[in-house]
Amino acid sequence: MSSTYGKLFKISTFGESHGTAVGVIVDGCPAGIDFDSSFIQSELDRRKPGQSRITTQRREADEFQVLSGIFEGKTTGTPIAMMVLNGDQRSKDYSHIAQQFRPSHADYTYTAKYGNRDYRGGGRSSARETVARVAAGALAKLILKQIGVDIKSYVSQVGKLKLSTPYQQLDLNLAEENAVRCPDPAVAQQMYDLIDETRKKGDSIGGVVNCVITGTPVGLGEPVFDKLHAELGKAMLSINAVKGFEYGSGFEGVEMYGSEHNDEMFLDEHNRVKTKTNHSGGVQGGISNGEDIYFRVAFKPVATIMQDQDSVDAEGNAVVVSGKGRHDPCVVPRAVPIVEAMAALVLVDFYLRNRATSKVAQEISSDLPW
């Protein structure tokens, strides 16, 4: 089972939903990075359960511990291990599905592939694993901050409710002002009400998270198989419940002529190459061009619902699966920091890969202590 991501900035996550702890080992982080513990904890707090009535009521402090790789507030260049203890497991909530396969869960596929599975909260297939990603992603954000890269995500859709305003016209900081993490307060309230209504019905609903990355240097990404947008797509599709990824103009671009879609170029007042439009989403030929990178990530409705569903058990018998436990009726509010974390991991890895070979990266990194 592969639990490692990245080529130079590598992360390996470990732990299960109802095990002792979940955590991450980061290998390849440069030495000399200021390790801001309060920032990393604040990112974990954005993801943790029990934030509001429309999230799972599992209560976890999600306070992280550093086991290695940090000395006197700075990274040492050696592997960094971070861990979060699990505290509020209710494994008995899952005893009834020990031999049953829940619809649209990983129960059947894990059993078919490995021969057994940890049925408590989904074990390794649980979104609890994303705690580790957010911790590592927060460290990646600290590195990106030093080169002027900023990543912001927000909820743009819940069910059929859509925020259609272009991100350039939104104050994305407002996303953190409400439980849904939508930067339009009026739309956010409608989304909240829809999620809460869905929760009361014992059902779940899907949504979309938008991500905007500003300040990306030109030249990140590799031609052919390691294109920047391809790696971003892989990273996003590795997140639990993700069913779709599109960047730039995405599927809407097929409705345009090339004369409309092409991003014409010009030199700005600083003699930099810029584009008049950005249908490319900040990536051309698989390499960043310095414009904003923006993409959308679609999340399915959470598979666990508080309603009876038909299924089969490990012996092939027909059964009725009853929903129990504590689950999000809609995953997107808590998915926002996860999307940002995975985006940060992709960009840091490409940046470090560029430092040895890219003229642009060498110029940017010349003033950095690492």
Single-letter amino acid, residue 341? A
303 is in an annotated binding site: yes
Q: How far apart are CA 167 and CA 350, in angstroms?
A: 25
Single-letter amino acid, residue 127? A
Helix (H) or strand (E) segment spanning residue 70: strand 70-71
47 is in an annotated binding site: yes
Residue 197 vs residues 102, 155, 334, 344: alpha-carbon distances, Å? 23, 18, 18, 34
C-alpha dihedral (164, 165, 168, 170), degrees to nearest 10 = -120
Tokens of 60: 């976890």
199 is in an annotated binding site: no
Q: How far apart are CA 58 and CA 49, in angstroms?
A: 6
Query: Do residues 75 and 32 make contact, with C-beta atoms less than 8 angstroms apart?
Result: yes
46 is in an annotated binding site: no
What is the DSSP secondary-structure string of 96-110?
A: GGSSB--TTSSHHHH
326 is in an annotated binding site: yes
Site of tokens 């990824």: 245
86 is in an annotated binding site: no
181 is in an annotated binding site: no
356 is in an annotated binding site: no
353 is in an annotated binding site: no
186 is in an annotated binding site: no
Q: How far apart are CA 213 and CA 344, in angstroms?
A: 9
Q: How far apart are CA 206 and CA 102, in angstroms?
A: 18
58 is in an annotated binding site: no
217 is in an annotated binding site: no
Closest CA to 240 of 137, 333, 129: 129
Binding site membership: which residues?
47, 53, 124-126, 240-241, 285, 300-304, 326
Binding site membership for FMN: which residues?
124-126, 240-241, 285, 300-304, 326
Binding site membership for NADP(+): which residues?
47, 53
